[in-house]
Chains A and B, each alone.
Chain A
Amino acid sequence: MKHFVFFWLSLGGFAAEIRAEQIQGGTIQVGGTDLFMAVSLESLGVTTPLGGELTKELQRIHGAQVRVVGQMGAEGKFVVNSYQIIEIFGKKPMVGKVSTQGEGTVLTVESKKGKALKIVLKVSKRSRLKRWATENLKVWVIARELPSKELKVIRYGLLDVLNSSR
Chain B
Amino acid sequence: MKFCVLLMSLIFVSLQGCGLLEQEGGEDGMSVEAVACGADGECPDGQVCRSETASGSKVCRNAKIGEEHFFARVSLAVASSDEIHLVTVFRLPQGVDGGQRPAEVPSEQFIPFSLTAAQSQSGLSAKIHRVRRTREEMVSSPRSRWDFHRHQVGAKISESHRVFPGLWYNTDLESSGCTECLDGEVCWKGQCASSLTAKFEDGSDVACSRGTVVGESGHNLGVVFDSTIEDGDIAFLKAAAETALKSFTDLYALMDLNDEKLKEVDIDGNGYPLLVFTNKTSSNVGTDVVGFYNPADLAAAGTSGATGNESDILWVRPPKDEAGKRLAVSTILHEYFHLLNFSYRTFVKGYRQESLWLDEAQAHLIEDLMGYQDANSSILESVTSQFSDPSSPRWPDVGFATSTLRIRDDSETRRGQGYLLLRHYIDVESKRAGAGSASLMEVKVTAQELYRSLLEDSKLGFSHKLFDGWDDTRHGNFLLGVFATQSEQYSAVDSSVIYLPRPAGEKTGAWLRGDFQDTSGKTFLLEGPYAEDYSDPIFDFEGDSYELVDSGAQYFLLSGMEVGTYQLEGKSDEVGIALKVTRLK
Binding site for B on A (CB under 8 A): 30-38, 49, 59-64, 75-76, 88-91, 123-129, 142, 144, 152-158, 162, 164-166
Residue among B112, B165, B550 having the largest count of chain A Cβ atoms under 10 Å: B112
> A90 vs B64: C-alpha distance in the bound complex, in angstroms?
11
Residues of A near B11 (CB, < 8 A) are none
- Across the two chains, which residue of chain B brings its CB closest to A91? B65
Closest CB pairs A-B (n = 10): A34-B406, A34-B405, A62-B403, A90-B96, A36-B165, A62-B106, A154-B573, A33-B164, A124-B545, A157-B109
> A162 vs B97: C-alpha distance in the bound complex, in angstroms?
29
> A57 vs B512: C-alpha distance in the bound complex, in angstroms?
34
Binding site for A on B (CB under 8 A): 65-66, 96-97, 102, 104, 106-112, 161, 163-167, 201, 284-285, 289, 304, 353, 356, 388-390, 393, 397, 403-408, 411, 542, 544-547, 550, 573-574
User: When the two chains form their complex, are residues A165 and B406 in contact, meaning their CB atoms are under 8 A apart?
Assistant: no
Shortest beta-carbon distance from B3 to chain A in Å: 42
> A103 vs B97: C-alpha distance in the bound complex, in angstroms?
33
User: When the two chains form their complex, are residues A154 and B65 in contact, meaning their CB atoms are under 8 A apart?
Assistant: yes
> A59 vs B545: C-alpha distance in the bound complex, in angstroms?
28
> A60 vs B353: C-alpha distance in the bound complex, in angstroms?
19
- Across the two chains, which residue of chain B brings its CB closest to A125? B545
Task: Indicate whether A32 sits within 8 Å of B165 (C-beta atoms), given known contacts A89-B96, A127-B112.
Answer: yes
> A63 vs B201: C-alpha distance in the bound complex, in angstroms?
28
Shortest beta-carbon distance from A92 to chain B in Å: 11
User: When the two chains form their complex, are residues A34 and B165 in contact, meaning their CB atoms are under 8 A apart?
Assistant: no
User: When the two chains form their complex, are residues B404 and A30 in contact, meaning their CB atoms are under 8 A apart?
Assistant: yes
Task: Indicate whether A63 sits within 8 Å of B407 (C-beta atoms), given known contacts A125-B545, A155-B574.
Answer: no
Residues of B near A75 (CB, < 8 A) are 304
Q: List 24 A-B contacts (CB under 8 A).
A: A30-B107, A30-B404, A32-B165, A32-B167, A34-B161, A34-B406, A35-B165, A35-B285, A36-B163, A38-B167, A59-B107, A60-B107, A62-B104, A90-B97, A91-B65, A124-B112, A129-B110, A144-B66, A154-B65, A155-B110, A155-B111, A157-B108, A157-B109, A162-B408
Contact of B112 (CB < 8 Å), options: A91, A123, A164: A123
Contact of A35 (CB < 8 Å), options: B102, B107, B406: B406
User: When the two chains form their complex, are residues B404 and A34 in contact, meaning their CB atoms are under 8 A apart?
Assistant: yes
Residues of A near B104 (CB, < 8 A) are 62
- Across the two chains, which residue of chain A brings its CB closest to B304? A76
Residues of A near B164 (CB, < 8 A) are 32-33
- Across the two chains, which residue of chain A brings its CB closest to B167? A38
> A127 vs B113: C-alpha distance in the bound complex, in angstroms?
11
Residue among B110, B161, B201 having the largest count of chain A Cβ atoms under 10 Å: B110
> A51 vs B397: C-alpha distance in the bound complex, in angstroms?
29
> A31 vs B346: C-alpha distance in the bound complex, in angstroms?
14
User: When the two chains form their complex, are residues B163 and A158 in contact, meaning their CB atoms are under 8 A apart?
Assistant: no
Contact of A126 (CB < 8 Å), options: B96, B111, B284, B546: B546
> A33 vs B294: C-alpha distance in the bound complex, in angstroms?
10
User: When the two chains form their complex, are residues A166 and B393 in contact, meaning their CB atoms are under 8 A apart?
Assistant: yes
Residues of A near B65 (CB, < 8 A) are 89-91, 142, 154-155
Shortest beta-carbon distance from B541 to chain A in Å: 12
- Across the two chains, which residue of chain A brings its CB closest to B107? A60
Task: Indicate whether A155 sits within 8 Å of B404 (C-beta atoms), given known contacts A32-B166, A36-B163, A38-B165.
Answer: no
User: When the two chains form their complex, are residues B112 and A33 in contact, meaning their CB atoms are under 8 A apart?
Assistant: no
> A81 vs B163: C-alpha distance in the bound complex, in angstroms?
28
> A110 vs B353: C-alpha distance in the bound complex, in angstroms?
38
User: When the two chains form their complex, are residues A144 and B573 in contact, meaning their CB atoms are under 8 A apart?
Assistant: yes
User: When the two chains form their complex, are residues B574 and A124 in contact, meaning their CB atoms are under 8 A apart?
Assistant: no
User: When the two chains form their complex, are residues B165 and A156 in contact, meaning their CB atoms are under 8 A apart?
Assistant: no
Contact of B356 (CB < 8 Å), options: A33, A153, A164: A33
Residues of A near B285 (CB, < 8 A) are 35
User: When the two chains form their complex, are residues A34 and B411 in contact, meaning their CB atoms are under 8 A apart?
Assistant: yes
> A152 vs B573: C-alpha distance in the bound complex, in angstroms?
9
> A153 vs B285: C-alpha distance in the bound complex, in angstroms?
39
- Across the two chains, which residue of chain A brings its CB closest to B410? A166
Shortest beta-carbon distance from A114 to chain B in Å: 28
Contact of B390 (CB < 8 Å), options: A63, A128, A165: A165
Residues of B near A125 (CB, < 8 A) are 545
Residues of B near A49 (CB, < 8 A) are 167
- Across the two chains, which residue of chain A brings its CB closest to B356? A33
User: When the two chains form their complex, are residues B404 and A37 in contact, meaning their CB atoms are under 8 A apart?
Assistant: yes
- Across the two chains, which residue of chain A brings its CB closest to B544? A124
> A158 vs B549: C-alpha distance in the bound complex, in angstroms?
12
> A126 vs B112: C-alpha distance in the bound complex, in angstroms?
10
> A31 vs B107: C-alpha distance in the bound complex, in angstroms?
12
